[in-house]
Amino acid sequence: ETGVTQTPRHLVMGMTNKKSLKCEQHLGHNAMYWYKQSAKKPLELMFVYNFKEQTENNSVPSRFSPECPNSSHLFLHLHTLQPEDSALYLCASSQDWNPGTDGYTFGSGTRLTVV
Amino acid sequence: AQSVTQLDSQVPVFEEAPVELRCNYSSSVSVYLFWYVQYPNQGLQLLLKYLSGSTLVKGINGFEAEFNKSQTSFHLRKPSVHISDTAEYFCAVSSLSGGSYIPTFGRGTSLIVHP
């Protein structure tokens, strides 16, 4: 078990559903991230939070809505998704918002399938 | 801007054989370099990193990588692979770009170890 826990591990949802992904880190890190991983594509950075404040939003469609109530928890709220949104969604954390030297600690991901 | 190229999308190898996974990067400034491993149905795990100093970096599970500044490469090697090394391997580069060290990931290389 890593220090970053993601739930659920698998999620199947219809295009009209609303669901949320949860991420929790037990490492005392101050920065948390959402990444999208699609087959044979580079990891796509979606959102960055530093001390609960969003510092980066990589032109993500509004059907993805992040929430960071505290430095340990990160949510990704999903609504009216498209089939092309099916992917592995990874949460990561780092000591501070510049993970340049420490790198990331990743969770195991949520495998999302939109039908 | 920084970018990462992993030259091989898939590398098949027999157990106990040596392996090299190639990674080239481009950046106009000093870089930090990382290799991550992703086992099936899991998130990414940091294998090793180069920050400064010795160009040969040793990581977990018997892997090592060599930083070559003139060739802008950071190839990953293991002298003798095991079946359990079958996984996806990601190279990442981090440099001070826009005030942030957010890393850029390559597309990944699938290492397939055959008995």
Summarize the confidence of residues A30-56 as an average pLDDT. Answer: 87
Residue B37 pLDDT exceeds 70: yes
Instruction: List, for residues A75-86, the tens digit of each pLDDT value.
Output: 999 999 999 999
Q: Which among B88, B1, B64, B74 is positioned nearest to B32, based on CA atoms? A: B74
pLDDT class for A99, splitting at 50, 70, 90? low
For A69-87, give one letter per residue: b (16+ CB within 10 A) or e: eebbebbbebeebeeebbb
Mean pLDDT of A47-63: 83
Beta strand extents in B51-101 (DSSP E only): 56-58, 64-68, 73-78, 87-95
Most A CBs within 10 A among B4, B32, B41, B44, hence the mutation to make, goes to B44
What confidence score (pLDDT) does residue B97 get? 66
Model pLDDT for residues B61-100, shown as the tens digit of each residue: 999 999 999 999 999 999 999 999 999 999 999 887 656 6
Tokens 């005392």 belong to residue = A28
Tokens 């190839």, located at residue: B75
State the burial class of residue A24 (Cβ atoms within 10 Å of its Cβ: 0-12, 13-18, 19+). Answer: middle
Contact check, Cβ <8 Å, B103/A4: no
Q: What is the pLDDT of residue A74?
A: 96
Which run of H or of E encompasses A46?
strand A44-50
DSSP A30: S
Considering only the beta carbons, identify the residue of A45, A90, A103 that sits closest to B49. Answer: A103
Residue A15 has pLDDT above 70, yes or no: yes
- Please give the average per-residue pLDDT across A16-45, as a whole number: 92
